[in-house]
Structure 1
Amino acid sequence: MKDNIVLIGMPGVGKSTVGVVLAKALGYNFVDADLVIQQQTGKLLCELIAEHGTEGFLEIEDEVNSSIEGHRAVIATGGSAVYCANAMEHYKEIATVLYLSVSYETLEERLGDLKNRGVVLNDGQTLKDLYDERTAYYEKYADVTVNEEGLSIRETIDAVKEKLGME
C-alpha cells in the first residue's frame, strides 16, 4: 500500500500550500522537495540554476528527489521534477502521484517573476511554452488529477480527498 502522496504541477498551482493543508487534514508529514534541495546544497534554487545551468540543476533535482523517502507523507515537488526520470520512477513506486492543474490564464495571473522563483526556463522559452511542454509530463506521471480552477484551498483539499478515496 502506497501511503505517500506526491504533488506535481506547474509553479504557482499551490503544491506547497495545498501540501501543508492536506498533510494536516490527513495527519501526514509534509516534505517540500525544493526546500530539501536547498538544505542539501546550501543554496537557493535560483542560485543553483545560475551556477549549474538548467541541465545541471535538473541533475541535482533528480538526485535529491530520488532519495526522498516518506511514510504517511505529502511530498510537494518542484514544477520541473517531472523532467527527472529517476525521481518520478521513485515517486511512482512509493506514492500516489497527484497532478494539481489550473488553466494557463490562471497561472499567468498567479506568477510574478519566474527567474526569482527558481523556475527552469530555457533561453527564449515563454511561460506558455513551458506550460504546454510540461502539461504532457504531468499527465504522463499522474495517477490522479485535480483541476483546482476556481477552487479555494478547502475545496481543493476536499476534491483531493475525494479523488483519493480518503473522505
Structure 2
Amino acid sequence: MPGAGKSTVGVILAKTLGMQFIDCDILIQQQSGRMLQEILDRDGPDAFRRMEEEAILSLHPRHSVIATGGSVIWSRAAMEHLRSLGVVVYLEISFEEMEKRLKNITTRGIVLLPNQTLRGMYLQRVPLYEEYADDTIPCSGEDVESVVRRICEGA
C-alpha cells in the first residue's frame, strides 16, 4: 500500500539480513528516464502498470529484498514471479494511517484509476495484497525497527 513503508523498511531489512536492496520505483525511473508521476501524467495508469510489470519480470536477483510499487498487485504475472523469488510480505496499514502518511499524493506517483478516490484504491487493493502475501505484518503505529524485527521473526 502506498505509505506503508516498503522502501524504508526494505533498506533496513536488507542491511539487517546482509542482502541487496532493490526499489522497483527507482528501477522504473532509471529504465524510463522519467519520474513516476511524469509517467502517470503523460502515459496514464495502464501504461505505468505495464512498465511496472516489465520491471518486475526483468528481476532475477539472489539474496535480495525487493520493494515494489503498491500497484504491482494488479499484475498476476508479476506477483507470481515475485513469489517464485521468495517470500512476499504485505506491510498492512489502515486507511487512516495511509492517509496520514501520504503528504504528497499528487506528486508521489500513486496509481489511481480515473475518478478513483484514495479510499477506493485502498479498498480495491487490500484483498489482493491478502491473497498474494505469504506473511502479513501490521504496521499502523509501528516504528521501522519493530516492523523489521517482526519480518525477521516470521522468516
Band the TM-score falls in, shorter-chain normalisation? over 0.9
What code does the residue aligned with 1:45 have? L
Q: Percent identity?
A: 43
What code does the residue aligned with 2:149 have? D
- Equivalent position of 1:89 in the other structure: 80
Q: Which has the higher strand share?
A: 1
Alignment equivalent of 2:68, drawn from 71, 77, 90: 77
**1:6-25 CA deviation, whole Å, 9 max, x = no partner?**
xxxx1101000000000000
**1:97-150 CA deviation, whole Å, 9 max, x = no partner?**
000011111111111232201011112211111110000110111011000122
SS at match of 1:115: coil
How many equivalent residue pairs? 155
- Equivalent position of 1:127 in the other structure: 118
Question: What is the correspondence of 1:16-165 to structure 2 with a 5 Å cutoff?
Answer: 16-164=7-155
CA distance in structure 1 between the aligned counterparts of 2:122 and 2:110, rounded to whole angstroms? 12
Q: How big is the shift at 1:95?
A: 1.3
CA distance in structure 2 between the aligned counterparts of 1:86 and 1:51, rounded to whole angstroms? 25
What code does the residue aligned with 1:134 have? R
**1:67-113 CA deviation, whole Å, 9 max, x = no partner?**
11211100000010111221111111111100001111111111123
SS at match of 1:30: strand
SS at match of 1:48: helix
What code does the residue aligned with 2:17 have? L
SS at match of 2:44: helix
Given that 1:62 and 1:85 are in contact with CA atoms closer than 8 Å, whether structure 2 keeps it comes out as no
SS at match of 1:118: coil
CA distance in structure 2 between the aligned counterparts of 1:124 and 1:56, rounded to whole angstroms? 17
State TM-score, norm by structure 2: 0.97
State TM-score, norm by structure 1: 0.90
**1:15-48 CA deviation, whole Å, 9 max, x = no partner?**
0000000000000000000100110110111111
Structure 1 residue runs without a partner (length 5+)? 1-9
Structure 2 residue runs without a partner (length 5+)? none
- Equivalent position of 1:6 in the other structure: none
CA distance in structure 1 between the aligned counterparts of 2:37 and 2:86, rounded to whole angstroms? 28
What code does the residue aligned with 1:127 have? L
